[in-house]
Amino acid sequence: MSTTSETPPVQPADAQPAAIVLAGGRASRLGGAAKPLLEVDGRPLLEHAVVALADCEPVVVVGPRMPVGGHVVWTQETPAFGGPVAGIAAGLALVDSAEVYVLAADLPNAVAAVALLRQHPPLSENQDGLCLADASGRMQWLTGRYRVDALRTALTRLPDAGRDASARALLGGLAIGVVPAGDLATDVDTWDDLERARTTMAQRAPRDDAPEETT
């Protein structure tokens, strides 16, 4: 005689994580421009995020559909422009994994930022997540890696499915480890931020006329 259990199977520690990319903000400080499509280093900000998370399954992009390379799943909070927490909730509805990366689609250094989060081992049961801290020490909640069940539990404590709630309201009460990241955690909120990011990337790019190294 066989028996069934309502308890879901425990995923192995090395199970493939999912990812949620938040790309549905109003970009009010950019005059309503489609911020995820602004280019830095010859690539839209959204594509930086998708490339950084390419080995996650699924990669859920929350926001209006827009051109981007790579395989992604699209969704959007209802009604639109509900804020980051409502976006996370919409993304979680399509996620079935133990861990999920949460990334805003305005991070020029997305590849390096996600690589930094990946350096840490799988999250334990008494650790709800990790997020980067910028050069000033401020926690960047939307550049993080979290346990899915912890996020879902935290969402049940917020009214209206988290609409108009801040990321801090969702994550501030969880056991979140902080990973110092300096300028890697800097996002793009204004035109000045965009120009600064473009200048920084241009300075990092190898020059065609740079002398070859010799041994």
* Of 59 and 208, more confident: 59
What pTM, to 2 d.p., does this model score? Answer: 0.83
In a domain, 125, yes or no: yes
**Which has more pLDDT, 204 or 39?**
39
Write out the residue range of the structural domain in which residue 74 sits.
18-199
Confidence of residue 21 (pLDDT cuts 50, 70, 90): very high
Distance CA 92, CA 121 (A): 22
Count up the domains in the chain and report the number. 1
CA torsion angle 48 88 175 15 (round to 10): -70
CB atoms within 10 A of CB 141: 24
CA-to-CA distance for 4 and 201, rounded, in angstroms?
A: 55
Amino acid at 95: V
Residue 213 lies in a domain: no
- Check residue 27 and give its pLDDT: 64
CATH code (residue 66) = 3.90.550.10
In a domain, residue 8? The reply is no
Question: What pLDDT band is residue 11 in, cutting at 50, 70 and 90?
Answer: very low
pLDDT tier, 207 (very low <50, low <70, confident <90, very high otherwise): very low
Average pLDDT over residues 167-189: 91
Examine residue 127 and state whether it is found in any structural domain, yes or no. Answer: yes
61 domain-assigned: yes
Contact in structure between 145 and 132 (CB atoms under 8 Å): no
SS3 category, 118: helix
Whether residue 211 lies inside any domain: the answer is no
9 in a domain, yes or no?
no
C-alpha 58/C-alpha 73 separation (Å) is 7
Q: Is 5 inside a domain boundary?
A: no
The two structure tokens encoding residue 113 = 């930022």
